[in-house]
Structure 1
Amino acid sequence: MAISSRSTHRRLAVGSFIEEYANRVDILTFDEETLSIKPDPNLSIDHPYPPTKLMFHPSPKFSNDILASSGDFLRLYSVRDTSIEPISVLNNSKSSEFCAPLTSFDWNDLEPRRIGTSSIDTTCTIWDVEKGAVETQLIAHDKEVHDIAWGEAGVFASVSADGSVRVFDLRDKEHSTIIYESPQPDTPLLRLAWNKQDLRYMATILMDSNKIVILDIRSPTLPVAELERHRGCVNAIAWAPVSFQHICSGGDDSQALIWELPTVAGLNGIDPMSMYTAGSEINQVQWSAAMPDWIGIAFANKMQLLKV
């Protein structure tokens, strides 16, 4: 699921998750006055395999929205009022038309020509999407890379099945900094979210765990806080776009929780400040930058917008 960063278009993109080749991406329109979400049959497109992530261009300068998806390849689409058209398919495999599946990607807010992708082949690839060319490819981890997030223009972080969070600076591609490792060796880290309002903080989640781990990159290895009020595995996390202290999480307990982080580090036993119970396990959470009062959640075959 993705929410457009364009304030004039209240657009959302949702992708199917069917474990076969034929999947779909649909563009929906949200009307804030009537509180209705409308699909448009013209804005629906076939997608090979389930998209592992969807994301709109972070700072659109064009009359149309640009949407990116990851799966077998990185794909870009142009979304107009009456149509959705493929722009490009980016494949970084030199040796064949096949490539290792992409687990996720992140679009660079500060340099929107850059998209970083993460892959099961242990690499992260930085694309110049305007040129349709690879800027650099790094062997990032010892096992599959599950997620990637940009901090600054040339700095990104990634999480992996090897249980580590690593930070990379494109000015020094030979080195990375490990800022966290799973307490139990080789417990995979699944998702990573970098706080855009305060780049000192990031959050990650562990496989089969009810914890959200909050990290401060100034004090590696020791979490600032561990949020442990979910009664099932956490599946998704999203920082508030306008407040550095708030983060939303969704999990297998069907709950979406909003947390307010303390200004003092090391305080665990934090309770969420608000909660919502969905109809089943929540697998996706998006906090809209263009509409900061709204959080999108996805569960089963439904998508809902929650007013904060």
Structure 2
Amino acid sequence: MAYAYDPVRASDRMPMPAINQEKYTYNYTAPWPVYAMDWSKKKSDGFQIALGSFLEQLSNKLQVISLRGGDNQYQNLGQDFVVTAEADHGYPISKLQWEPARLANKPSDTIATTSDILRLWELTDAEPPSQGGHIPSSSRRLYPNHAKQLKIKTELANNKQTFSAPLTSFDWNEHQPSLIVTSSIDTTCTVWNVETRQAKTQLIAHDREVFDVAFAHGSSDIFASVGADGSVRMFDLRQLEHSTIIYETPAASGKTTSSHHQNQSAAAPSFVSQSLLRLQFNRLEANYLATFQFNSHSVQILDVRVPGVPVTQLFGHADSVNCMSWSPHTAGQIATGADDCQLLLWDMNTAQSKSNNALHGHTQGHHHRHHHSKEAVKPALDPVRAHTAENEINHVSWNYTVPDWLAMASGKTIQALRGDGLK
């Protein structure tokens, strides 16, 4: 469905406050630990962030915060961001995303979240107070000149099961915004059509829990997943009877186990390998993706055309990596965060002069069979910038509409950082 831009509605909204060009950081402290986070993809709301609490109880929150203006009642609270909307969420949010940029001109905004099920939330202007002038308690913390509210738009769960296994992650297809793919601890991935509110397909993606899933950027058919079996697997919605294992973590022991996954023989051995927790495709060069293992200090950069080994690895953290995010503006730039409280920025292009197999150097066609190479390409690569947080960094996200800005979640703090201001 196409959405027309509404100039009347847009004019009623307070414009985004001007960004101070001399300022390199903006801060917000939440009342609880933060895990999930994402920037709005709407240009007029370039400094609007959605975030989710991480509480081990059924009283979690979904919040939307915006950069505050210079003249409002929050000026003396020491917060650069203010809450513009908040909703109860029950279980902790495993991931959240704003709708793709191509939908950003419609009148309302949509946010997707996963936890026990997939939910779509509509962010709209808050309803006016009742005639008695009473303002609901849930709205008292709203930015008064930009008050909004979050309402459930869609709840999607597998109706064939009496119990929905927890969802670990999801990805919203930027090329075909009607599609969202979710991953679950029950070994499956499900592709949803959020317009029809129906599951397009569900497949057993891994031998064990699936921890993350992502569409290849620019494609409405190809996606990849990682899980507790230690493999990166690629799927094509046009040929779901086949899949490709493009990478497996080094064997955790000498033991082997039989794999029954789709295009593999039941007798084919598979190494018992360490869990892969996250993956993300390069937003500008879809042949490349990044992933990392559980309790690992490094990040692996893979080329889907050369399965089996990383084209390079990022060694720089002194403790377990928790998150990573490719820049949507600069090819080869990626940010990583870890338990060592370090946010590191890397530039894959700096490795080109040290290896013919750096980010732009491959010419081979796509491989459909998984294979191992005895020697991985590991050009020397150091982070180009770094930032130290007060607590472990649990999430990092690049701003889609304002170049060079990224945000990180550390403890209860959201910190927006200008990349060129990092040391």
Same fold? TM cut 0.5: yes
For residues 162 and 153 of structure 1, what CA distance do their matches in structure 2 show?
26
Change (3 A) 1:32 1:124: farther
Which residue does the alignment assign to 2:406?
295
Name whichever structure is richer in strand by fraction: 1
CA drift of 1:283 comes to 0.5
Deviation at 1:31, TM superposition (A): 5.0
Q: Is the 1:236–1:285 Cα contact (8 Å) retained in structure 2?
A: yes
Report how far residue 288 of structure 1 moved.
1.4
Residue-by-residue CA offset, 1:91-147 (whole Å, 9 max, x unaligned)? 014132x30000000000000000000000000000000111000001100000000
The answer as to 2:156 corresponding to 1:90 is yes
Question: 1:229 maps to what in 2?
Answer: 316
Distance 2:58 2:379 in 1: 43
The residue type paired with residue 308 of structure 2 is T
List, as ranges, runs of 4+ consecutive aligned residues in structure 1 with deviation greater than 4 Å: 31-35
Q: Deviations over 1:22-73 (max 9, x none)?
A: 1001100125989921113xx1000020000010001224111100000000
Question: 2: CA distance between counterparts of 1:32 and 1:243?
Answer: 29
Which is worse superposed, 75-84 or 102-111? 75-84
For residues 326 and 279 of structure 2, the distance between their equivalents in structure 1, rounded to whole angstroms, comes to 10
Task: Provide the residue aligned with 2:201 in structure 1.
Answer: 136
Identity of aligned residues (%): 42
2:339 corresponds to 1:252: yes
Please identify the structure whose Cα radius of gyration is greater: 2
Worse-superposed segment, 2-11 or 252-261: 2-11
Question: Residue 281 of structure 1 aligns with which residue?
Answer: 392
Show the counterpart of 1:72. 116
**Corresponding residue of 2:374:** none
TM superposition shift of 1:84 = 1.0
> Within the alignment, does 1:16 sit opposite 2:53 as a pair?
yes
Deviations 1:153-205 (A, max 9, x none): 11000001000000100000111100000013320000001012001100001
Structure 2 residue 241 is matched with structure 1 residue 174:
yes
- Structure 1 stretch 213-222 or stretch 27-36: which is displaced more? 27-36
Q: Aligned with 1:83: secondary structure?
A: strand
Tell me which moved more, 243-252 or 265-274. 265-274
SS of residue in 2 equivalent to 1:8: helix
| CA–CA separation in structure 2 for the residues paired with 1:300 and 1:15 | 12
After TM superposition, list the pairs within 5 Å mapping 1:166-245 onto structure 2: 166-184=233-251, 185-245=272-332
Provide TM-score, normalisation by structure 2.
0.70
User: 1:268 Cα deviation (Å)?
Assistant: 3.4
Specify the alignment match of 2:30 in structure 1. Answer: none
Q: 1:227·1:268 contact (CA, 8 Å) conserved in 2?
A: no
Greater alpha carbon shift after TM alignment, 248-257 vs 184-193: 184-193
Question: Is the CA contact 1:225–1:268 (under 8 Å) kept in the aligned structure 2?
Answer: yes
**Matched residue of 2:240: which SS?**
strand
Aligned-partner Cα distance in 1 for 2:70–2:99: 25
Q: How many residues align?
A: 305
CA RMSD of superposed structures (Å): 1.5
3-state SS, counterpart of residue 379 of structure 2: coil
- 1:95-106 equivalence runs, <5 A: 95-96=161-162, 98-106=163-171
Could you list the runs of 5+ residues in structure 2 that have no partner in the other structure?
1-36, 72-78, 126-147, 252-271, 358-376
Counterpart Cα distance in 2 of 1:33 and 1:257: 31
- For residues 379 and 276 of structure 2, the distance between their equivalents in structure 1, rounded to whole angstroms, comes to 20
User: Any conservation in 2 of the 1:231–1:253 contact (CA below 8 Å)?
Assistant: yes
Q: Is the 8 A contact 1:256 1:276 kept in 2?
A: yes
The aligned counterpart of 1:270 is 381
- Which of these residues, 24, 34, 38, is aligned with residue 82 of structure 2? 38
Structure 2 letter corresponding to 1:13: A
Structure 1: how far apart are the matches of 2:319 and 2:64? Answer: 30
Which structure has more helix as a fraction of its residues? 2
In structure 2, do the counterparts of structure 1 residues 32 and 114 end up closer, same or farther at CA, with 3 Å as the change threshold? farther
Match of 1:50 in 2: 92
Distance 1:88 1:217 in 2: 34
Moved more, 112-121 or 31-40: 31-40
Q: Which amino acid aligns with 1:256?
A: L
Contact 1:127/1:133 (<8 A) preserved: yes
Gaps of 5+ in 1: none
Instruction: Give the number of the structure with larger relative contact order, counting CA–CA contacts within 8 Å between residues 6 or more apart.
Output: 2
Shift of 1:215: 0.2
